[in-house]
Structure 1
Amino acid sequence: MSDVFLLPAFRFRVTLTRVVGGGTNSKAAAPLDPGVLDHEGQFAECSGLDLEADVKEYLEGGRNDRVVRRVGRVKLVPIVLKRGMFSADARSTADAALWTWLTHMVSGRLPVTRYDGRIQVYGPHLRTPLATWTFDRGLPQKVTGPTLNAKTGEIAIEELHIVHEGLRMEVRG
């Protein structure tokens, strides 16, 4: 039996790249507007790496011992990213990039900024990712501010939900 290496869930990097242009294939790098998300790898938690097929069931008359199943559309769940709120230094205001992205979109600011994303998982002591998920044309669905509680010494955590138009797991080879 061959050796199996389990991927650690704590060594990962999230990269968001601004989509330029309106088409699905417009992915050139572009300068970012001030206040728009332009950070890499600053997230402490990532979830939503899910794909679920919508399988349709058809009941045929006279065939009581079987159900015919047909492939339907894929269900995409939002990518959920969490990070600690931060500022450049102790005297600066908190980074508002996640909030700015959502408020620009809902206020009707055009063009709507979309991001392609890449989530890479690394093994210990490795510089090459062992697993990579990519999503296309992400939009912010929800931003949640931290739960504030004076009784604890916890770090303020904010959460970003990104809806997207496709998720793939890429393999090296």
Structure 2
Amino acid sequence: FTSHDSRKRANAAFLIGSYQIIYLGRTPEEAYKNLTLNDNRPFLPFRDASFGASTYHLTLLDCLFAVNKALLNKFLDFDTFDLQEYEHFEKVENGDLSWIIPNKFLAFCGPHSQTKIENGYPLHSPEAYFPYFRKRNVTTIIRLNKKVYDAKRFTNAGFAHYDLFFTDGSCPSDHIMNRFLEICENVTG
């Protein structure tokens, strides 16, 4: 698919397979079968974005099942997706935030103690996020990384705040996963 580079080939196959699921109504298995019909070379598995050794791999078929599940559960809905908002807020200078599940899970770059530019990289204080969070009914912040800001800045502004630290790029423990789900299932907003 467009290249002998195994990474480009896997990415192209993912896009082609996703198109088949989203627009042609195919199942993940049907899409995958179409991609492997005349070529028995395996696809390079996907992995996390960290630089260390990968502790797990996701196959192309795993990823196609995820696209299908997201579509079925309306996590992926092009009728309601706001491309302009996405392109604005995914930029670091605008907060580096993205809805994982629309109106339920918002991922954002961990705030810093103050808003500033450091080595050409924009850093945002907790207060920089308040207007958007209030507008979009974000009520709870769960910090998953190291502490570089005081959580009271969120709680004093009316947000709930929890710390569930685990090493970036690693898998969280069962305890952290269960606590994360418990918090998410019991908050409003």
TM-score grouping bracket, smaller chain normalisation: under 0.3
Question: Rg: which structure is higher?
Answer: 1
Q: Going by fraction, where is strand more abundant, 1 or 2?
A: 1
- TM normalised by structure 1 equals 0.22
- TM normalised by structure 2 equals 0.21
Q: Which has the higher contact order (CA 8 A, sep 6+)?
A: 1
